[in-house]
Amino acid sequence: MKSLLAILIIVAFAAAIPFIGNKSIKVEHPSHLDADGNFIVHEWVKPHTGGGPDWNYNLKPVQVSERVWCFFGALEMPTKDNAGYMSNSCYIKGDDQWIAWDSGPSYIFAKQAYAEMKKIADMPVKTVIISHEHDDHWLGNNFYKEVFGATIYGTPLINEDYYGPRHVDGKDYPGMQTRMIKALYQNAIRGTVLAKVDKTFEETSKFTISGVNMEYVRVGYAHSEDDWFLYLPDDKVVLAADVVMNGRVTSNRDGIVVGQINAINAIRAREWEHLVPGHGFITDKSAADESVQYFALLKDRVLAKMEEGVVADLITKEVTLPEFKDKDLYWILSPGNVFRSYEELEMFDEDDLIDYSAEKSDGGGDDQEKDEEA
Ligand SMILES: [Zn+2]
C-alpha cells in the first residue's frame, strides 16, 4: 500500500516538473490583465458601426387598463435575436402627455414604441419613470431626453453606477458598455447613449402628473439593489417591474429573497385590478401568484435544508423547484437563485420580513401612525 502511494507521488511529481519554478509563462496581451495580474473578463469591445435600416422591433402596444398600454417582451435572456426586447415597458395616458414607465433596451426601441403610441394619442412624453438599474429597462431614456426633453425619474444607482460618453481635459471618452451595448446588433443599439436620471427620491412618494395620481413605491434591495414600483390608485394598476415576473423564472443574481418577499407583500397590500410584471404576460389579479409561490418555496426549502446541515456546495442538488420546471428560463436561472439564496439565508432573521397586513386593514400608512400613538 505504502509503495503504491510512493509511486503515485513520484508520478505526480514528474508530471508537475514542467510547472515547478517556471517563470516564463508568456502573456500575449498584458493589457488583458488587471492590476493584480488577473485576466480581465469583461473588457471593452469595439463599438458596432455600420449602416442599414434600423432594427424592426415590430412593436404592438397592448391596452391593460383605460389609461395604460404596455409592450410585452419575450420570455428570454437578452439576445441578438430579440434585440433586448425581453422586458415589459408601459405608457400611461395623461391629460396632455404620455408618461413612460421603463424605457426599454435601446434608443431605437423607445423610438419605435413612441411611434406606435403616437397613433393612439399624439402627445409628447414629458416624464419617464424607471423601476431599477438593469439595462433592459432604461436604455431608451436618451430618446425621450433628446426628442422631448423629458424628465427622467429613477433610482440614484443609475447615476452612481453608469456613465455615458465624457469629455474630460479636452479628450473624449466612450460611455460605459452595458450588456445590451455589447450584445446587440449595431442596427438595434446605435444611437443609445446612457442617459442619467434627473429626479431621484429618497423614499416612497406620491405625485400627480398630467392628471394621473401615482405612488412611486420604494421597495429597496429586492430584485436589484434598489427597486421601485408604480401604483396608480385611481386606475387600480400596479406597474411592478422585476419584483414580479410570470411565465418565466426570475434572475435573483443581484437580488435577495427577503427583499423580494417584502416587495411582493407591499404590492399585495395595495388595492389593484391589473398588475404588469417586469417580464411575463399575465396582468390580471393572478399576475403576482407565481412570484409569491416561488420565493416562499425558495426560502422555506433552503432554510429547511440548512437546518438539516446541507452545505452550500450541495444546496442546488438538494433544493429544486419542480413546480416551475416548465416555466421559461427555469434550468438556466433557478439553480443560481437557490445557490445565491443560501448565503443570504444563513443570516435569515424572521424580523426582516415586513408585515403589511396591518397597513392594508387600516387603509394606509397614516392610520398606522395613529395606531402607534394610541
Ligand atoms: Zn431586472
Sign of CA dihedral 228, 296, 233, 241: positive
- Report yes or no on 181 lying in a domain: yes
CA of 224 to the centre of ligand 1 (A): 7
Phi/psi of residue 365, nearest 5 degrees = -65, -35
Question: Would the pLDDT of 372 be above 50?
Answer: no
Lowest mean pLDDT of 9-13, 172-176, 353-357, name the range.
Answer: 9-13
Q: Report which of residues 182 and 35 the model is more confident about.
A: 182
Cα–chain center distance at 224: 6
Ligand 1 center from residue 6 Cα (angstroms): 55
Q: Tell me how far the alpha carbon of residue 55 lies from the centroid of ligand 1, in angstroms.
A: 23
Domain hosting 135: range is: 62-200
- Check residue 196 and give left, alpha or beta (phi > 0: left; psi -120 to 50: alpha): beta
Domain annotation covers residue 295 = no
**Range 321-346 average pLDDT:** 96
Residue closest to 128 by CA, chosen among 115, 111, 118, 142: 142
pLDDT of residue 370: 37
Residue 355: Cβ-neighbour burial (10 angstroms; 0-12, 13-18, 19+): exposed
Q: How far is the CA of 35 from the centre of ligand 1 (A)?
A: 31
Expressed in angstroms and rounded, the spacing between residue 370 Cα and the centre of ligand 1 is 36
Q: Which helix (H) or strand (E) holds 80?
A: none
Res. 218: pLDDT tops 90: yes
Specify the pLDDT at position 36: 64
Q: From ligand 1's centre to the CA of 117, what distance in Å?
A: 24
* Residue at 112 is within a domain: yes
Burial class of residue 146 (count of CB atoms within 10 Å of its CB; 0-12, 13-18, 19+): middle
- Domain containing 160 — which CATH number? 3.60.15.10
pLDDT, mean of residues 261-279: 97
Is residue 238 assigned to a domain? no
Lookup result for grid cell 426633453: 149
Q: Kindly state whether residue 244 falls inside one of the protein's structural domains.
A: no
Distance between Cα 243 and ligand 1 center (Å): 8
**Lookup result for grid cell 395613529:** 370
Dist. CA 137 → ligand 1 center (Å): 7
The sign of the dihedral angle between the CA atoms of 209, 222, 244, 116 is positive
Cα–ligand 1 centroid distance for 98 (angstroms): 23
Span 129-133, mean pLDDT? 98
- Centre of ligand 1 to C-alpha 118, Å, is 27
18, part of any domain: no
Residue 15 grid coordinates: 508530471
Residue 151's CB is within 10 A of a number of other CB atoms, namely 15
What total of structural domains would you count in the chain? Answer: 1
Question: Mean pLDDT score of the chain, rounded to an integer?
Answer: 90
* Structural domain includes residue 161: yes
CA of 287 to the centre of ligand 1 (A): 17
| Interatomic CA distance for residues 261 and 99, integer angstroms | 28
| Residue 350, domain member (yes or no) | no
As a whole number of angstroms, the distance between CA 260 and CA 220 comes to 9
